[in-house]
Structure 1
Amino acid sequence: MKTNPVIETLLSHRSIRKFKDQPLTEEQIQLLVESAQAASTSSFTQSYSIIGVDDPEIKKQLRIISANNQFYVEHNGFFFVFVADQYRNQLIGRDHHEDTSVLDTTQRLIVALGDASFAAQNMAVAAESIGLGICYIGSILNDINKTSELLQLPDHVYPLFGMAVGYPDQDPEKKPRLPHDVVYHRNHYNPQPSRDALDAYDQAVRRYYETRTGGTREETWTGQIARGLGNPYRKALKPFLEKQHLGLR
């Protein structure tokens, strides 16, 4: 089937973890934010904000929170943090003398998480379409209270993830994705994914990690998923949500 430049960009995605020492221009930053803002938003609430981080000390602290060896959190062309944001809507409600308690509900939290995610993926595709690379950084949640303190987040705001953007200084192999038939269901959910397809995918992932690490990492996808099930972490997220008055009911 014939593709186009947009689809080619999507299908060529790779996470970039090493960037050239070249900052983004203000024009590039504005273009990326405008591209993010063009994303769909539930009921036009636009319940997210984007925090651009160029303060070297804040970037360093976010890198330490994420993991000391994730240097791309600190060293990149620019760093963005996407936050689910009900604070702005709370201010609007108060200005209009409306009851704002609906912002505490799980439904509103899900809306905000979706809005922030839609915007972030728009930015990612826009960045890659102009020759930049990106890497999502979920590990800023390793110490969500410290991240919130660094970014001075008010009530009703939740930091979802960061995004490192910049000029790639590497050309990594594309990481294999699950087989089509395992992900795509027609008309109803199929509770029995193909074991043969998963076995073949495990071998592809094993080869990917062996190549990427020079043979020092041998791991299958199902093994990685199973290992993660026995390792609950980031237990501070639920108390943080409660403290921020998000998803309470």
Structure 2
Amino acid sequence: MRQPPSLADRVLAALPGFTEAPLARDMAARLNTDEPHVKQAFDRLEKEGRAKIVRRGRGLHLVPADYPGRLCIICRAEFTATRKETVACSYSCARHLAWRNQDMRKRHRASVTASHARPEVKEKLTTRSREYWSDQASREQASEIQREKWQDTNIRGRRMVGLEAAWSSPERREKQKDRRLKDWQNPEFREKTVAAMRNGKRGVIKRRAIELATANPSMTVVEIAGRLNCKVVRIDFILRRARKEGVIGIRPGDGPRLRKRLQEEAA
């Protein structure tokens, strides 16, 4: 049984009937079909080499495969050039084409890394960064921009996929581990980080939990978690570590074995 012609075949057959290169909506009106499927047919014809898509203004038009004009490989715009090997219409499109090359990206990253390793460049970047982040308005503006981006489902999805792909690499995890261990061996970094952990915003739950446990020794972990609107597991971990460090004593619900061991150690 003979199969009916596909939409791409119908589009190609109707193309000579237009006096000018048609848009997808023009072709959809001629064939009495919807525009999204016509766009898919345009892409299929271009992929199979039976037609070409040319950009004129903001619209994408369909032209025959033997169209003599030179089309940009990136944006599909028509352009003129003296060199036959030129395939991009502008410097921007040429850079975009070059950036598709993995070796090009690798060489660029190596060049940037080498440049940032120079003492004068590193000092200049550090000074500029400190000046920017020392301004309260700049920090609030940057925070607001990031919050808006994370609320966008598309951006959030791409970031989560990228983070998962990055941290699935053993080399990436080892590199980050070595970097953090090296930073932790720096006394200045260690002192600054410990102070931030004890007095910064991230340690407010820990401080509040210890304060409640000290002021009300009879409060259980569940009661403290409810007061601070936190998970019981998190508060239990905080209090256990505080008890181990000697900040607080035995808590209700610690269990007879733990009580006995701590009493033996105290004796």
Shorter-chain-normalised TM-score: which range?
Answer: under 0.3
Greater relative contact order structure (CA < 8 Å, 6+ sep)? 1
Q: What TM-score, normalized to structure 2? A: 0.18
- Higher gyration radius (CA): 2
More strand by share: 1
